Amino acid sequence: MMEIHRSDERGSFRNAWLDARFSFEFGSYRNASRSGYSDLLVLNEDIVAPGMGFAAHPHDNVEVLSFPLSGSVEHRDSTGAREVLAYGDVHLMRAGSGIVHSEMNPSPTEYERHVQWWIRPTHRDARPAYAKRHFLPEAKRDRLCLIAAPDADESALRIDQDVRIYASIVGRGAIRHALAPARRAYVHVLRGALSVNDELLRSGDGAHIEGLSSLMLQADDEAEIVLFDLR
């Protein structure tokens, strides 16, 4: 079974410096049919004005991953981590027992765009932590590149949940992903258009997938996605 959620069906929020889209319930956006999927709790797309962003605020007991698409994001948190992220970077902030962080657009002239997702952790009140990895386009082109997993080596982020997260730039070939029995998947299109088992998805679209043994990803031109292999 595959259930498609179109980009224009997402929740939204806009103010003077932020244009945000919510694939699942977040903030004031309430939709009982979109209250996360398995351990994927939040998937937001944010466009942030120059010099603006999310000032220091707290989180706890959630794994937060950010994936810049254009421009840059400056991250600071109470563990002492300070990083500027750009396209190709992915970071994992383990909120654990409690963390305070900010995410700002450091450019005085350019907008930045990123997606961020939150994963429910296996263990509560873990020690807060921060990690960052960089993934070249070549590592993602025409293949599923593992960016986070519970058993990841140093090439990917180690996440505290039975979730495997992949990024891919799908060209004119086809990519197959096998799903183990009782596993589910969520595919989110970052840019472009592609078919997932012959269902066409465009930028901002997402697909819940369960009860299938494999996924076939195909694009006529080029599309970029993230794929979540979930419990």
Alpha carbon distance 205, 7 (integer Å) = 5
Q: What is the pLDDT of residue 173?
A: 83
What is the share, in percent, of the chain residues with pLDDT greater than 70?
Answer: 100
- The Cβ of residue 84 has, within 10 Å, a number of other Cβ atoms equal to 12
Residue 5's pLDDT band (cuts 50, 70, 90): very high
Q: Which two tokens stand for residue 109?
A: 């002239």
Quick one: which of 61, 67, 54, 63 has its CA closest to 27? Answer: 54
Q: What is the pLDDT of residue 124?
A: 98
Q: What is the pLDDT of residue 51?
A: 98
Alpha carbon distance 121, 168 (integer Å) = 24
Q: Which two tokens stand for residue 72?
A: 């840059």
User: Which whole number is the average pLDDT over 41-54?
Assistant: 98
User: Which whole number is the average pLDDT over 136-157?
Assistant: 97
Cβ(231)–Cβ(150) below 8 Å: no
Radius of gyration, alpha carbons of the chain: 17
User: Which whole number is the average pLDDT over 77-103?
Assistant: 98
Report whether pLDDT(119) > 90. yes
Quick one: which of 174, 164, 169 has its CA closest to 139? Answer: 169
User: Which whole number is the average pLDDT over 133-137?
Assistant: 98
User: Which of left, alpha, beta for 142 (phi over 0: left; psi -120 to 50: alpha)?
Assistant: left
Report whether pLDDT(172) > 90. no
Question: What domains can you pick out in the chain, each with its CATH number?
Answer: 7-135 (2.60.120.10)
User: Which whole number is the average pLDDT over 110-116?
Assistant: 98
User: Which whole number is the average pLDDT over 99-105?
Assistant: 98
Q: What is the pLDDT of residue 6?
A: 98
How do residues 9-24 score in pLDDT, each as one tens digit?
A: 999 999 999 999 999 9
Identity at 103, one-letter amino acid code = E
Report whether pLDDT(134) > 90. yes
**Mean pLDDT estimate for the chain:** 97
Q: What is the pLDDT of residue 155?
A: 94
How do residues 216-229 score in pLDDT, each as one tens digit?
A: 999 999 999 999 99
Dihedral sign for Cα atoms in the order 185, 23, 111, 159: negative
Which residues lie below 8 Å from residue 18, measured CB to CB, with a gap of 6+? 46, 47, 48, 49, 52
Q: Which two tokens stand for residue 49?
A: 């004005």
